[in-house]
Amino acid sequence: MAEFSLTINGKKQVLDLDPDTPLLWVLRDHLKLVGTKYGCGIAQCGACTVHFNGSAVRSCQLPISSAAGNEITTIEGLSENGDHPVQKAWLEHDVPQCGYCQAGQIMSASALLNRNPNPSDSEIENAMNGNICRCGTYTRIKAAIKSASDSQIA
């Protein structure tokens, strides 16, 4: 066990945990930020995607020892009132079916739009390819990302 200091959604958190504890389980078990989902544990499904200094990373592969000292944003901290352009676009397109993967999809999409505000179809597909949606909402996700990208330009 060791003490780590993390900044999550702008708030400092001090935790005494094993250094190899993945950020995913720090968020879920210890901070009760359960919007970040467990799907595979090996960075293959994207359900656990968070922003690490603004970039999309898989929190199941990020030990707390590496997360410490960096800025982490989770789905709960993406916006104050759930009104991030990507979240609004998701509601507008009524994207979710079961909804389980959608937090990860939204975190990947918002990170994409941060670095590329007007992505092409293939840029969207490439950036989102690591996020599995078992219900098959891919066409809606793409449409929502395009809406969000348009709203950011406007």
Partner 1 sequence: MTKVKTGIGRRSFIKSVSIAGGGLIIGFNWMACKKATEEGGKEMAMQMPDEWFELNGYLKIGDNGVVTIYSPNPEIGQNVKTSMPMIVAEELDVDWDKVIVEQAPLNTDIFTRQLAGGSQSIRQGWESLRTAGATARQMLLTAAANQWEVPVSELSVEKGIISHANSDKSISYGEIAKAAAQVEVPEEVELKDNDSFKIIGTSRKNVDAKKIVTGQPLYGLDVYKDGMVIAMMVQPPAFGMQLKTMDAEKVKEMPGIIDVFTIDTYPEDMEKEWSDVTAFSKLAVIVGESTWQVMKAKKALKVEWELKPDLVEQIQILEKSPGMENTSGLESSKMHASLMKEIGSKKAEVVRKDGDPEKAFKNAARVIERSYTCPFLAHNCMEPMNFYANVSDGKAELLGPIQTPEYAEKSINKRLGLALEDIDIQMTRMGGGFGRRLYGNFLVEAAVISDKIGKPVKLVYTREDDMSNGVYRPAYHVTYRAALDGNNKLTALHVNAGGIPESPLFANRFPAGAIDNYLAESWTLESNISVGAFRAPRSNFIAGAEQSFLDELAEEMGQDPIQFRLDLLKRAQNDPVGESNDYDAARYAGVLELVRDKSGWNNGSSGLNRGVSAYYCHNSYVAQILDMSIKGNQPVIDKVTCAVDCGIVVNPDAAKNMVEGGTIDGIGHALYSQVTFEDGKPQQNNFDTYRLIRHQEAPKKIDVYFVENGIDPTGLGEPPFPPIMGAVANALYKATGQRFYDQPFINQLNGKQTELKT
Binding-site ranges for partner 1 (CB under 8 A): 1, 18, 20-22, 25, 28-30, 32-42, 44-45, 47, 74-76, 78, 81-83, 87-88, 90-92, 94-103, 106, 121, 124-126, 128-142
For partner 1, the closer of residues 67 and 133 by Cβ is 133
* Residue 24 near residue 46 (C-beta atoms within 8 A): no
Scanning the chain, the segments in alpha helix (DSSP H) are 23-25, 64-67, 85-92, 102-115, 121-128, 138-153
Which residues make Cβ contacts (< 8 Å) with residue 76, sequence separation at least 6?
Answer: 9, 33, 35
Reduced to 3 states (helix: H, G, I; strand: E, B; else coil), residue 75 is helix
Alpha-carbon span 89 to 129, nearest angstrom:
19
For partner 1, the closer of residues 7 and 34 by Cβ is 34
For partner 1, the closer of residues 4 and 25 by Cβ is 25
- Kindly state the smallest distance separating residue 107's Cβ from partner 1, in Å: 9
For partner 1, the closer of residues 91 and 118 by Cβ is 91
- Kindly state the smallest distance separating residue 4's Cβ from partner 1, in Å: 14
- Kindly state the smallest distance separating residue 59's Cβ from partner 1, in Å: 12
Residue type, 139: T
Tokens (6 digits) for 115: 């670095």
Q: Edge-to-edge strands of the sheet including 71-73?
A: 11-17, 2-8, 71-73, 49-52, 55-58
For partner 1, the closer of residues 70 and 130 by Cβ is 130
- Kindly state the smallest distance separating residue 53's Cβ from partner 1, in Å: 20
* Residue 59 near residue 23 (C-beta atoms within 8 A): yes
- Kindly state the smallest distance separating residue 34's Cβ from partner 1, in Å: 4
